[in-house]
Amino acid sequence: MDAGVDILGGDWTAGTLPLRADGRAPDPVATLVGRTPTQRRAVLYLHGFVDYFFHPHVADALADEADVYGLDLRDYGRSIRPGREPNYTTDLSVYAQEIDAAYRVLRQDHDEVVLLGHSTGGLIAALWADARPGLLAGVVLNSPWLDLRGSWAERVPLTRVLDVVGRVAPNLVVAHLGEFYGTALHAQWGYDLAWKPLQGFPVRAGFIRTVRRGHARVARGLDVDCPVLVLTSDVSGPDHSFHDALLTSDSVLDVEQMAARAPLLGRDVTLRQVPGGAHDLALSPEPAQGRYLDEVRQFLRTL
């Protein structure tokens, strides 16, 4: 993998991982972002939906425990290509290709790998770890999307309808993200709005179908064979309006759902709540951000 200077600057580099053709043109790619290896352990960061890796402060905070790498999945962030729909898939399992490829690269310089997934990336990380026993030293999930936030009607009857619609009309737009959390987050972090727009990218039926099928797999129980740390905020906030707690509560997902699903992930699961944490705990204001990073550091030290 050839790597060049990354947008993060400093000694950060980004390398393109070519992927197999998937029926859409041009062929997909993923992007692995990292720095010169210094530790025997690597942490591979998987972002969420409408997201990409822009967390060098996390790498700095964990530098004594591991080298942190970010993986921009196909059609996300650095891996977006003209002609391909951003942030869209009809099958979460395709992301195993880029995680497999990144894992192979990291093992060239590191003795072990820990997977760190946020939100949708947390769901993808859990499913990949379940399907790849014996490869990981640990898994960290930052506010993982393990169930659908919403009413019973949205979670059950509507899911059944979208399972059919997502099969016959996968490109149909069925929802848009609210701009409230993104607006508050951007005011603090100033990320690239071309890759992480305030109102997100369209949510399509095929995407929801595969995510809900992933949720169903978690509900049936996974068997991740390494230690898992699940971290959430301590409370969920409204996701449909501006409010003062947008960055001190989870205004995207339901923390009670995450807590309920966490024990179903594997044999050794630890759940920690971070008071005052945002949906992306790594982007929380202090002291929540420091608490989150302390929890991750302590977990890495126990592996």
Q: pLDDT by residue (tens digit) across 290-299?
A: 999 999 999 9
121-142 pLDDT, tens digit each = 999 999 999 999 999 999 999 9
Residue 121, amino acid:
G
pLDDT beyond 90 at 171? yes
Work out the percent of the chain whose per-residue pLDDT is above 70: 100
Q: In what order do the strands lie in the sheet with 41-46?
A: 3-5, 13-18, 29-34, 67-72, 41-46, 112-118, 138-142, 228-233, 269-274
- Tokens 């204001």 locate to 285
Residue 5, classified by CB atoms within 10 Å of its CB into exposed (0-12), middle (13-18) or buried (19+), is exposed
Which of 69-83, 165-179, 215-229 has the lowest average pLDDT? 165-179
pLDDT at residue 34, rounded to an integer: 98
29-59 pLDDT, tens digit each = 999 999 999 999 999 999 999 999 999 999 9
CA angle 45, 29, 127 (to 5 degrees): 45
pLDDT at residue 2, rounded to an integer: 72
pLDDT at residue 286, rounded to an integer: 98
pLDDT at residue 216, rounded to an integer: 97
pLDDT band at 207 (very low <50, low <70, confident <90, very high): very high
pLDDT at residue 238, rounded to an integer: 86
Query: Are the C-beta atoms of residues 34 and 13 closer than 8 Å to each other?
Result: yes
pLDDT at residue 276, rounded to an integer: 98
Per-residue pLDDT, averaged over 152-169, amounts to 92
Instruction: Report strand pairing: 13-18 vs 29-34.
Output: antiparallel
When the pLDDT of each residue in the chain is averaged and rounded to a whole number, the result is: 96
pLDDT band at 160 (very low <50, low <70, confident <90, very high): very high
pLDDT band at 159 (very low <50, low <70, confident <90, very high): very high
Structural domains in the chain, CATH included, are 3-302 (3.40.50.1820)
225-283 pLDDT, tens digit each = 999 999 999 999 987 788 999 999 999 999 999 999 999 999 999 999 999 999 999 99
Query: Are the C-beta atoms of residues 84 and 12 closer than 8 Å to each other?
Result: no
